[in-house]
Chain A
Amino acid sequence: MSQYDVLFQPLNINKLTIRNRIVSTAHAEVYATDGGMTTDRYVKYYEEKAKGGCGLCICGGSSVVAIDSPQSWWSSVNLSTDRIIPHFQNLADAVHKHGGKIMIQITHMGRRSRWDGENWPNLMSPSGIREPVHRATCKTIEVEEIWRVIADFAKAAVRAKEGGLDGVELSAVHQHMIDQFWSPRVNKRTDEWGGSFEGRMKFGMEVLKAVREAVGPDFVVGMRITGDEFHPDGLDHEEMKKIAAYYDATGMVDYFGVVGSGCDTHNTLANVIPNMSYPPEPFLHLASGIKAVVKVPVIHAQNIKDPNQAKRILEEGFVDFVGMTRAHIADPHFIAKIKMDQTDQIRQCVGANYCIDRQYMGLDVLCIQNAATSREYMGLPHIIEKTDGPVRNVVVIGGGPGGMEAARVAAERGHKVTLIEKAPELGGQITLAAKAPQRDQMAGITRWLAMELDRLGVDVRLNTAADADMIRGLNADVCILATGGTPFLSQNPEWGEEEGLVVSTWDILSGKVEPGKNVLVYDTICEFSGMSAADYLASKGSLVELVTDDIKPGVGIGGTTFPTYYRSLYEKEVIMTSDLMLEKVYREGDQLVALLENEYTGQQEERVVDQIVIENGIRPDEALYYELKEESRNKGQIDVETLFDIKPQPVLSESGDGMILWRLGDCVSQRNTHAAIYDALRLCMHL
């Protein structure tokens, strides 16, 4: 008997047997190409989850049923055409082959979209009220359109069925058209489609009836609903229990998926995909409340990432299925690793929300730490096989995420790997990032890598600053530099770095420099580091003003993460100021004066503070590279054509003298964690 038995109790949804209790819930993948078709990348992405043991995949978050619900913004799946059916067949076959089940979420997004593209539709909503997150204006939907959309739902469900999928999930969550009708916040109608409870329920009920009628009794039809919109004028938990019971009583719904929170404001949207600042399963109680009033199984996702957590939730009977969607984005072999008794090898989601924050920008969903996810179709592996070729002596300099991933992949390939890090611990900039309040889980990225390096027997040498002679002495066949960089405070000499007038966010987060009392943080990057430094300083009691020359502090951070920073910064009374450039810093007595200039007016103003912290990105650490470049066999060059094609570097199969030298990560140019890890994987997987 295993401690995780409860995860592996099959359960039926309608007549469909789900092999375990773990579900990858619907999320927008942004992978559907060719006008919303589930093509190769899409199929391989879900096939990998099925191969890894996931019980049920509900794909296609917000897949549209009608042509006036735009799909192109988020490359979502388009069920408004029969063209989708053969693509679904490919998808269903790929998942079924590995014993998994697959359904799709279908919806009409109503007002929750953008009208300024694709077919340039008028967006529609029960009462024509604008949606703030997408700045989406819309018309009031007419009765003829209501019936047309209901029919579109039914046709779409039939296409899913004909494509061999196992079911459909009606989205009545995230303020799509069904729950736009439900919510008194946006449904102000006085006709039969609004007003009373039954009136507000009518659209959803007609959709359900039409879909059930079209697909028959045995095809799974589920509903995803909110557990509480968290708006005073919206649907609260009691109302949602009433709604769930109302639909459940029809006997036409096979399961409910429950999501805590509405999401038509920036702040509530952040709740929907809780990032690392949230506690585990923050909205489980809402799902459990729904379970108490319905007879069919209940699925709940939201910040469930750990097998033990899933086990506890299931054992205590809060819900019937646990959604572990980001957990599967980070590691699609999550279930297989539990089964293989390798739970400590699971690459666990840290809640960095790189995936969902890209999605909200209309970019394809990628994992900050697992570069193979959704790149299966390109041949990037989740399980790295040993090389058939020569075993090489690989030396990696720098133990940040890029260097660690390179060492991991090379070691998985069976090479002899040495990793040299000058700091006393591995992690690189991730270690700094994890020092900020509510960001500690970032360290999970490199903690996993460190555990893997240990498991794989990589020779890790800490507290060791590598120089050219040392590297030569190691007789490397391949040397990979991942030495990162240093804060770029010297860009403007007027900032007075040389005089010691300013410090970097690294100085603050690392604890090297004590927080001042009255601090100005100047952030040109507007991503995590500046916000984190400001949050850190404020949490230590500093009075902080966060100034940027960009349009708003944190503007580079995605939609589910900037709100949690804002919550924290506003609560600590951090002042956030935009559009000011730091022109000069000088000392006046024991105080510092920052001279700021408005980018648009040229007007100057001063701040008198006792500490100035600058976040201006990173200057690559290139010295070692240029010292070794000439003597290396490949002159340090990476052949980008083969790199981008995911092919072995030509130099690996050519004979020659001297070591092969590559560099990756921020020591080339500043990018991000994913970029460093991606390069490390695609370079080293062919070693």
Chain B
Amino acid sequence: MLDQILPWLLAGFLIVFAAGALRRIAMWRAGRPQKVDLIAGLLAMPRRYLVDLHHVVDRDKAMSHTHVATAGGFVASLLLVILVHGFGLDNVWLARALMLTTALMFIGALFVFRRRINPPSRLSKGPWMRLPKSLITFSVTFFIVTLPAAGILPDGFGSGVLAIILLAGIIFGSGEMLFGMGWGGPMKHAFAGALHLAFHRRPERFGGGRSTGLKAVNLDDESLGVAKPSDFKWNQLLGFDACVQCGRCEAMCPAFAAGQPLNPKKLIQDMVVGLAGGSDAKFAGSPYPGIEVGNASGGPDQTITEGLVAPETLWSCTTCRACVEECPMMIEHVDAIVDMRRFLTMEKGNTPNKGAETLENLIATDNPGGNDPGSRMHWAADQNLNLMSDVKAADVLFWVGDGAFDMRSQRILRAFVKIMKQAGVDFAVLGNEERDVGDVARRLGDDATFQSLAKHNIATMKKYGFKRIVTTDPHAFHCLNNEYGELGGDFEVLHHSTFINELLTTGALNVSAYKGGAVTYHDPCYLGRYNGEYDSPRALLKALGIDIAEMERSGFRSRCCGGGGGAPITDIPGEKRIADMRMEDASATGAELVAVGCQQCTAMLEGVVGGEGEPLPQVMDLAEIVVTHLVGEES
């Protein structure tokens, strides 16, 4: 009996899947156009899946193996099921292969099942709790159904009650796997995820390329930024649908940990609600801290911040990219958030707390603090620095940044100047011609101000000759290196840790051994995750004879200091401060000194007030540590 029903049943499920898939594709296409290379993307997809994605998943070995078995087993089984049971190819070996793949899938599914027995809080529940059962049902059912075709049981096997049971299993299993895939069940991730990998908006990230996710806003557009889901680019919407709700982002998000109203997983799911229309009532994961689940609703053409996502959620993000780095589906949460901030800032003028003031300062004074632009060089009155306007050309353009206005940061700048002088580096600064690099404006959603600052800076820099730019500020580094190119500024940019390391390696600089207590190193997000520079700072500390006491969260998993993305300016309240948590991380290593490579991190971490008991470790920039260990005289 099954023999007759199965082909039709399978065809039916495939048609239902196709209908669902087309409907889903239509939802994505409601987004704004974005050119992608369809063929090249599709061709690149398997490699992106097998290498890049697997690389992320593989950080959790058990889960990686589980997924390889289950997904690999399923994809192979489905193909074989279509051949063996759909087209009825009577081949014992094909059938035996199918048995093997369903067995593989079954083993994987058992591990999925085990993980769901006592799932960690980051995992979504709801339909996802059903998935292991569906997987097991699918694999077991098709294993049994294939026994006759494999010549292990007689052909007549599977009639009567057994046939009905097997039929139910097939319907249940295939329902999840095919109907669910097309119609928004957990298996949607496989279909959307594959296409998302193929048509990713930042394809350069595959293979380890570093780039910004933020594209310059066309300021002539009728509406700036993303107000409603359909304002996203179509492939962004596709990306949201790839989410597997594994909650790795949630586990890494500093704002979530601090009890601020942000959970990146929920945010992506709300975007899914928005693109499909409906409410968040079925969301079965952790809420945004402090905001109850079930009251949010939206649709493709409804304003997101009016009912679907609270503005506070968007302003809680530090843009640290911990979620992006951790996401096995390569979803770009941060860019989506900034896209929505752009609408709030540029269309609504609703940048909270000190945000509006900061942006006004940037417009009026070219720096976020509202300092007298003519005082940019006050910090260096005694440094005798070459000005580009005087010397016209130098090997290195030292991008000073707005640390020039801040006394704490000035110590870092002075230390770095001393290092360069000692090494005999031919460098010059822009002086009062320099303007804020635009980082804060861009992260706060004011792309108009970003673009105006960037264009001005590019024009200034193009007047002069230099081989490369060096800066002590990873935010400036990122903007200059990755975000100025789109506006016509292609420069070679180095972070000072890279540059100092180079000076040490070439022997231009000599240092003595560090003698103090234990040292840990805090990776700045915009240096590490954004630009992949994890090694230079460590090599530099090693050159001082320091054996770094690494924090549990370090390298690509470094926890943000809380200072990025304008978060200290928008200052959304939470239960804890991110910087406090980071200093706890540092203290836990027993370090007496936290080495940092970013003045914003320095400010945030130094701002932490210790309680009773052990004193907090000292916070110093790499340049400040190096400068106290210089050997020899200034050349």
Contacts and interface: CB of A to CB of B under 8 A. Distances in A.
B407 A10 contact: no
Interface in B567-605: none
A100 B408 CA distance: 20
Contacts of B382: 17, 19, 98-100
B623 to A, nearest CB: 16
B39 interface: no
Contacts of B210: none
Given A5-B375, A339-B411, A17 B406 contact: no
B407 A9 contact: no
The DSSP consensus for interface residues of chain A is loop
B407 A339 contact: yes
A9 B370 CA distance: 16
Given A1-B370, A1-B371, A8 B378 contact: yes
Interface residues of B, number: 17
A20 B410 CA distance: 14
Contacts of B515: 388
Interface in B381-425: 381-383, 405-408, 410-411
A2 B383 contact: no
B407 A341 contact: yes
B379 interface: yes
B179 to A, nearest CB: 61
Interface string B242-270: 00000000000000000000000000000
Contact of A2 (B370, B407, B615): B407
A340 interface: yes
B489 interface: no
Contact of B408 (A5, A20, A341, A457): A341
A18 B381 CA distance: 7
Interface string A1-24: 110110011100000011110000
A454 to B, nearest CB: 13
Which bucket holds chain A's interface residue count? 20 to 34
Contacts of A18: 381
Interface in A8-66: 8-10, 17-20
A167 to B, nearest CB: 16
Interface string B342-386: 000000000000000000000000000111000100110111000
B405 A1 contact: yes
Contacts of B410: 339
A338 B405 CA distance: 14
B545 to A, nearest CB: 15
A99 B370 contact: no
B16 to A, nearest CB: 63
A82 to B, nearest CB: 29
A10 B370 contact: no
Given A1-B405, A339-B411, A341-B407, A10 B371 contact: no
A102 B371 CA distance: 29
Given A2-B407, A9-B375, A17 B369 contact: no
A340 B405 contact: no
Interface string B408-447: 1011000000000000000000000000000000000000
A24 to B, nearest CB: 15
B298 to A, nearest CB: 41
A99 B369 contact: no
Contacts of A457: 615
A2 B375 CA distance: 13
Contacts of A2: 406-407
A388 B378 CA distance: 38
Contacts of A10: 378, 381
A1 B372 CA distance: 10
Which of A1, A8, A19, A99 gathers the greatest number of chain B CB atoms within 10 Å? A1
B390 to A, nearest CB: 14
Contact of B378 (A9, A99, A100, A338): A9
Contacts of A5: 371, 375
Nearest to A1: B369
B411 A17 contact: no
Contact of B381 (A17, A340, A388): A17
A98 B375 CA distance: 21
Nearest to B382: A99
Contacts of A338: 407
A133 B381 CA distance: 42
Contact of A8 (B370, B379, B383): B379
B371 A99 contact: no
Interface string A556-599: 00000000000000000000000000000000000000000000
Contacts of B615: 457
Contacts of A339: 407, 410-411
A71 to B, nearest CB: 31
Interface in A397-449: none
Contacts of B406: 1-2
B354 to A, nearest CB: 13
A650 B277 CA distance: 84
Nearest to B371: A1
**Smallest CB-CB A-B distances: 8 pairs:** A99-B382, A10-B381, A19-B381, A19-B382, A1-B369, A339-B407, A2-B407, A17-B381
Interface of B: 369-371, 375, 378-379, 381-383, 405-408, 410-411, 515, 615
Interface of A: 1-2, 4-5, 8-10, 17-20, 98-100, 338-341, 388, 457
27 contacts: A1-B369, A1-B371, A1-B406, A2-B406, A2-B407, A4-B407, A5-B371, A5-B375, A8-B378, A8-B379, A8-B407, A9-B375, A9-B378, A10-B381, A17-B382, A18-B381, A19-B381, A19-B382, A99-B381, A99-B382, A100-B382, A339-B407, A339-B410, A339-B411, A340-B407, A340-B411, A388-B515
Given A1-B406, A339-B410, A340-B407, 8 more contacts: A1-B370, A1-B371, A2-B406, A5-B371, A5-B375, A8-B379, A20-B381, A388-B515
